[in-house]
A and B are shown apart, each in its own frame.
Chain A
C-alpha cells in the first residue's frame, strides 16, 4: 500500500483520529484464532460429540430393529457346551454307527428315559440360523436351512435325549399382544456328516413379517422332547396362546406322539422407540402487530435525532416465500396410543417486503427501553417503502435450529395404515438471519439484524398418515408452525410472528 503525500488537512486529521481509535476484542476472537492455528485441541470435543451422536443413533436403530427373536436355545437346568473334541468325535461315532438308534426305541413307548446309550451323553441342539445366529427362525422362508451345533454334556442320567427343546421362541402375528396367536412350524432333525444336527423347517406358513416383539413359551414341568434324527419330525402348533408340540415318525408309523403343552411366558412389554427422519417444504408468512406509540415526546427532547417527516397512512406489501425444515424425531410410547416426542431440526423461513431504491436518507426507528421510555435509533438508508416504481424484494429470513418436544396420539391404525396427530413446542435458536424493518414514519426500510431475537419458541401441530412400503415406514401429512414470540426484541414495538405451512415427508424403520 503506497501512502499518498498529498493529503489535505481534513484527510490528515481524519486519519489521525481514526488511527487513535482502538477497541478491545472479545475472547471469542482469540479463541477462534487459536483453535484454527492449533486444531488438535478441539478434536477431543469433536470426537466425543460424534461418538455421542453415533451412540444415540445406534441405540435408536437397535431398539427399532424388526427382526428380533428370542433365542431358541436348548437350555436345561444344566446348560453345557462341548467339552472336547474327543467327546464330539464320540458322539459323532455314536450317531453314525446307529447304535444309539437301536437303543432309543422311542417308537415303542410313550415315555422316555427307559433306554440307554453306550455313551451316557446328552446331546443338545442349539439351533442356529443361516447366519449362525442362535435363534429359531420361525419365519424362515421355505427351503432355508437352519443347522444346529452339536453340544454334548456328560450326565449321569440314563435318559437319552437326542433333541431337547426347552424354550421356544416364536414370532407372533401382527395383532395385539393379548390376542390369540396361531400358527405352525414343522421340521425334520437330521444329522450332518460333521456331527452337527440340523433342523429343517418343512412348513413356514406361519406368521407374518410384522416386526413385533416375540412371544416366549416355556415347556411346562420342564418337559423335554426327544427326536431321533432323520427318522422323526416334530411340529409345534400355536393355538390360543398355547403350544402343542408333537413328534411323529417319518415313516408314518405313530411314534412318540407326545403332546406337550407349553404356556406363554408373560414378559414385560418392550417399548419400541421409533426414529423418524423427515424433510418438509414449507410456505412462510408473517403476522404483524404494532403498539401505538406517541413519538411527540422525542421531538421535544434534546437527546435524540428523529426523522418523522410527513407521517401519512402507508401500505406495505409483503409476500410469502418458500422454506424448508429437516430433522429427526424420536417417539417413545408411554401408553397404547400416546407417544412422547423429542428431536432436533433445522429450518429456514423467509418472507419478502417490497421496496424501492431512494436517495440515501436518514430514517429513524422509535424504540422503547427497559423503563418504557422512548428513544430513537437513526440509520441512513436507501430503501423506500415500495410505493414507487422499480420495486424489488427485501428478504427477511431466519435459519434456525430447534428441539421439538411434544406428544403424538394415534387416532386410528390397521395392518397397513396409521393416522397420528402431533403437537409439539420447540425452543429455537437463530443461526443466521436478516431483517428489514419499516421506519417509524413508514417511508423507508432500515436494515438492523441486531433487532432480531436469537432465542424463540415455536408451536407446531400436524396430522400424518403412515404406511409401510418395503420394510420402510413412510409418514406424510400437513402441519402448521407458529412462532410464539416476536421475531424482534422487546424494545422494538412491532411484533412479527412467522407462520409456516408445510407438508412433512418422513421415513422410519
Chain B
C-alpha cells in the first residue's frame, strides 16, 4: 500500500489503512518512545496514545515534509507530555560530579549496537535522558527544549552537559566509545 493510499484510507477511517500505517511506522516509533519511557510497558502506552493522536490529526498533514517525520514529532510530544503529567522531571537532581560512582566491571551481554546505545541512554536519570534525547537526537535547540519542558534555557544546557558527560562515561565503560572525549565518535562494531 502506497503512502498516499494509506493517508487517504486513514482520512476515510478505514481500519485496513490505519493498520497499514501503524505496521509501517510503529517499530521505529516504539524505539523513540523507549528512549523516553521508564520501561517497555510505559513505552507502549506512549506509542498507543501517540498513534491515536496521529489518526485524529491526520487531516492536518499537508504533505510538506516526510510523513515519518510528522508522526515522529507527534510521538515525541506525546512522550514529553506523558512524562510531564507523571511529574518525572521533579526527580532531576544536579550532578556536581560523578566521582562517587564506582564500577567494578564493565561487561554486559552482547546486543545490537543500536540497542546498546539506547540502553545506555536509558540508564540515565529521566531528566538528563529527556534533555539528551531532545537535543542530541531529536535536534531541538535549548531554547525550544526550555519551552517544551518548561525549564530555563540555561538549565537545559547544564542538564545536557552533565547528561553527555555521564553517557560518555558509560559508553567508555561499555567499550562502545573509542575516542577521547573532545572528539567523540561512537564506534561501529560489525
Contact = CB atoms under 8 A, between A and B. Distances in A.
Interface of A: 1-4, 7-11, 13-15, 17-26, 28-30, 32-34, 36-38, 299, 301-307, 309, 357, 359-362, 378, 380, 382, 449-450
Q: List the 8 shortest-distance A-B pairs measured between CB atoms, nearest first.
A: A10-B184, A22-B27, A13-B186, A3-B139, A21-B31, A21-B114, A11-B136, A20-B114
A302 B103 CA distance: 12
Contact of A36 (B40, B52, B102, B121): B52
B4 interface: no
Contact of A30 (B19, B96, B105): B19
Given A22-B31, A362-B103, A382-B93, A10 B185 contact: yes
Contact of B91 (A36, A306, A359, A382): A382
Given A17-B186, A357-B93, A25 B164 contact: no
Contacts of B137: 11, 14-15, 18-19
Contact of B105 (A15, A23, A304): A304
12 contacts: A1-B144, A4-B141, A17-B117, A17-B118, A22-B27, A22-B28, A26-B44, A30-B22, A302-B105, A306-B104, A306-B105, A359-B96
Interface in B1-51: 13, 15, 18-19, 22, 26-28, 30-31, 34-35, 39-40, 43-44, 47-48, 51
Contacts of A449: 39
A25 B104 contact: no
Contact of B76 (A1, A26, A36, A301): A1
B123 to A, nearest CB: 6
Contacts of A23: 27, 30-31, 34, 40, 43
Nearest to A379: B123
Given A2-B144, A29-B44, A9 B183 contact: yes
A450 to B, nearest CB: 6
Contacts of A13: 184-186
A13 B185 CA distance: 6
A1 B73 contact: yes
Interface of B: 13, 15, 18-19, 22, 26-28, 30-31, 34-35, 39-40, 43-44, 47-48, 51-52, 55, 69, 73, 76, 91, 93, 95-98, 100-108, 113-115, 117-118, 121, 123-125, 133, 135-141, 144, 164, 166, 168, 183-186
B91 to A, nearest CB: 7
Contact of A24 (B30, B69, B124): B30
B30 A14 contact: no
B100 A17 contact: no
Contact of B104 (A33, A305, A360): A305
Contacts of A7: 136, 139
A33 B101 contact: no
A34 B47 CA distance: 13
A10 B95 contact: no
A1 B138 contact: yes
Nearest to A383: B91
A21 B185 contact: no
Given A22-B28, A305-B105, A357-B93, 15 more contacts: A11-B137, A21-B115, A29-B44, A30-B26, A33-B52, A36-B52, A38-B15, A305-B103, A306-B104, A359-B97, A361-B100, A362-B103, A382-B91, A382-B125, A449-B39
B87 to A, nearest CB: 13
A18 B22 contact: no
A325 to B, nearest CB: 26
A465 to B, nearest CB: 43
Given A17-B114, A18-B118, A1 B139 contact: yes
A21 B133 CA distance: 13
A33 B22 contact: yes
Nearest to A22: B27
Contacts of B139: 1-4, 7, 15
A306 B107 CA distance: 11
A307 B106 CA distance: 12
B147 to A, nearest CB: 12
A449 B125 CA distance: 16
A18 B104 contact: no
Nearest to A305: B105
